[in-house]
Amino acid sequence: MAFGAIAGVVALASLGVVAFNNAIRSALCLVLTFFLLAVLYFTLNAQFLGIIQIVVYTGAIMVLFLFVIMLLNLGGINAVMQKRDPKIIFGGVLGFALFSLVAAQVLLPLQGVTTVRAPDDFGKPEYLGSALFSNYVWPFELASILLLIGIVGSILLAKRRILSPAMDALNAEDAERGVGE
């Protein structure tokens, strides 16, 4: 019962993301959607996914979105009213047809499921950590090395861009003085 109620609020909040013309209201609806999705993960006994959802999406990414919206001042511009476009009606009908297809193929076969197949410790941080650092330690380490290489590469590229104008100015001064010929 609680899962269905929370899922309904998530659906309404996600509709608010696309329905509002104001970018700040839309972003706040997205924050609510992310937070309630984490609550849904907790009700499904997947605590790790819920924690990651709150920390990564609700905490970090949405704060970044809100700062970008505030810096660009997207909330201050009034939306220009547009006349009705037949593509909007066609898109709505197509979206409803797609939703009906997904409901028929996914939701209806799941109505007869009454037993839980996942183990009791599925989705808990302890189980995930022990699996990650025992069975999957090499892929975990390779992924961390790949991320480290990406971070170092981006720092080097950013540093080269910062030094490039200064080096161009020094090279121009040297060329004027005749140094290096």
Q: What is the pLDDT of residue 165?
A: 63
Q: Is the dihedral of CA 69, 70, 73, 75 positive or negative?
A: positive
Q: What are the structural domain ranges in the chain?
A: 136-181
Q: What average pLDDT score do residues 138-161 get?
A: 83
Say what the pTM is. Answer: 0.54
Q: What is the pLDDT of residues 44-94, one digit of tens each?
A: 888 888 888 888 887 777 777 777 777 776 545 554 556 777 888 898 899
Where do the DSSP E strands lie in the chain?
none
Higher per-residue pLDDT: 8 or 129: 8
For residues 114 and 120, give the distance between their C-alpha atoms in angstroms, rounded to a whole number. Answer: 16
Q: What is the pLDDT of residue 93?
A: 92
Q: What is the pLDDT of residue 96?
A: 93
Measured at the CA of 128, the angle between CA 125 and CA 133, to 5 degrees, comes to 120
Contact 45, 61 (CB under 8 A): no
